[in-house]
Amino acid sequence: MPLAAHLHPTRANEVIALLGSMGIEGEVHKGEGGRRELIVAASDLARVDRLLAEEYPNGELESAVPRPQPAPKEPENMNVRVLVYLFLLEGLNFFRLFRNNPQPQRSDYLRHGALTWERVDQGEIWRLATAVFVHFDFVHLAANLLTLALIGPLVTRAFGGLRFLTIFLLSGVGGNLLSHFLAPSGALKAGASGGVAGILGACAGHAIANRHHSRYRPWQMVAGVVGAYALLIGAGPRSDHLAHAGGLVSGWILGWLLAPKNVSPANETSG
């Protein structure tokens, strides 16, 4: 049965693709004046009506609204190189730390950039950043790199390589800052988990910044990111929970601030 007798021709393929992604079959027939009629099964009518009202709240179905242009993105090979360089930097520092001593001492970790409350308070602020590239063992390193491998390509395509690096590093610093101020300790602190959590948070920030072009509610986006955080990063007893939380919130804010605005779903690259 016809659903939208005034469907603009430029929207026809887009609507069919949208319905197909939700498992709904539909056809578009040519009507009078070059307009199109969308035909769906009667059993799907109410669901399709809600979906289209949610996806096109401002009546875009009936007009040739110019598509918003995405912000210029860096070449895909640049995004790949950024991820490779980040992996190499993390791996190289790990190799240098463990090369001559399979059981590094406290002084070794400090020499390679780990942080402590005393050192930061003595003015070695740079440790808030260098600690993001220090790991205590291979499992610690592998867990963070595996998570980056899973979500990194998606985030670099959404933001571009340079913005991705900015979010990763600043989120790591933000997480270390929160941990430093709320849980000062003489214990060594290091790891990329705050930066990784920030990359996940940036996904939520990006989605919320472009929420008008999504069928999902902001709380659904946030819930999805929190769920991914729990699965990929976790909250083990040895985890620095404050650093993770600080990184997640920092990434959320940075993702919202740095996300290309007004990008339609058809112009986004899914991962």
The catalytic site residues sit at 193, 244
Alpha helix positions (H), 74-183: 76-98, 106-111, 117-121, 127-130, 138-159, 161-182
Polymer length in residues for the chain: 271
SS (H, E, C) 203-214: HHHHHHHCHHHC
Closest to 147 in 3D by CA, of 184, 101, 179, 193: 193
Amino acid at 143: A
Structure-token match 């026809």, residue found: 12
And the tokens for 222? Answer: 């946030």
